[in-house]
Amino acid sequence: MHLSIFPLADCFAGEVSGVDLQQPLGPKTVSAIESAMDRYAVLVFRDQNISDDEQLTFSQNFGPIESSIGGNITKLDQRRLQVEFADVSNLDQNQDIYARDDRRRLFNLGNRLWHSDSSFRAVPAKYSLLSARSIPVNGPNTEYADMRAAYDALDDKTKAEVAGLICEHSLMYSRGQLGFTDFTEEEQKTFAPVRQVLVRTHPVTMRKSLFLASHAGTIVGWPMAEARIFLRDLIEYATQPQFVYVHHWRLHDLVMWDNRQTMHRVRRFNETENVRDVRRTTISSDRPTTAQVTN
């Protein structure tokens, strides 16, 4: 393999060529991909017609794979994929498109909000790797926002204000924005809020970034209403076009991104008529961003 990585035009992401993800990767190739992730935060691998096992093998080069249990409302007997995959498709366990009023579909509409994967877990996600197995002809696109550049562009007063702030994240906060509030008692326990810092420092590059997500519902020590409007203002600021890369999906793309340095969202499409089969493996970080408090 002769791996090469080049920046995509007018954005912070990079495209990788010269690597076949159906084949095992050597240590030098893995190291080169990790270094590129530190630089670009989003990497695009084109024409990777991989199986689930091949995606798992590739993902395991970068750390422990996070179980998708606890990150959705799908019951174990309703699962279409093994637990190592987050199924962000619009298909049920019978390979049928979700009905418009299916509770699982309504919950998954939260993926259209800006978020960082698994910020609702005490140990949030490091990398996400999304493989396009079947996609509609005309989208939907996925948008990625560079939280490093957004932090760098803050004025000094705002940088001082966000320093040291702790947010609470929960899937109930993000879904609540959509009016999805009918959580069972078990789901409320599963989705109990966790604490995350608002400003993160990358362990390799030492660059600071905003750790924002629609899952963030309050700031410790602030009135909730004030916290939510402040966080909404920050997300609006951090997702201006100059900070965003728009990925136009092709069949068999694999996109890999660093949740510590980016936010993302999928855009709207006619999901009641078009199949979108995309499968995500998620690499867990090695520690919480802050001390957790349990009630």
DSSP secondary structure, 104-157, as one string: HHHHHGGGGS-B-TTTTSSS-EEEEEEEEEE--TT---EEEEEHHHHHHTS-HH
Residue range 185-194, pLDDT digits in tens: 999 999 999 9
- In this prediction, residue 223 has a pLDDT band, given cuts at 50, 70 and 90, of very high
Give the global pTM.
0.96
Give residue 210's identity as a one-letter amino acid code: L
Q: Is 60 exceeded by the pLDDT of residue 99? A: yes
What pLDDT, on the 0 to 100 scale, is given for residue 2? 86
Confirm if 109 and 265 have CB atoms less than 8 A apart. Answer: no
Between the CA of residue 45 and those of 14, 251, 258, 284, what are the distances in Å? 9, 11, 15, 21
d(CA 254, CA 52): 12
Worst-scoring range by mean pLDDT, 3-17, 38-52, 157-171, 227-241? 3-17
Q: Is 60 exceeded by the pLDDT of residue 122? A: yes
Q: What is the mean pLDDT of the chain?
A: 96
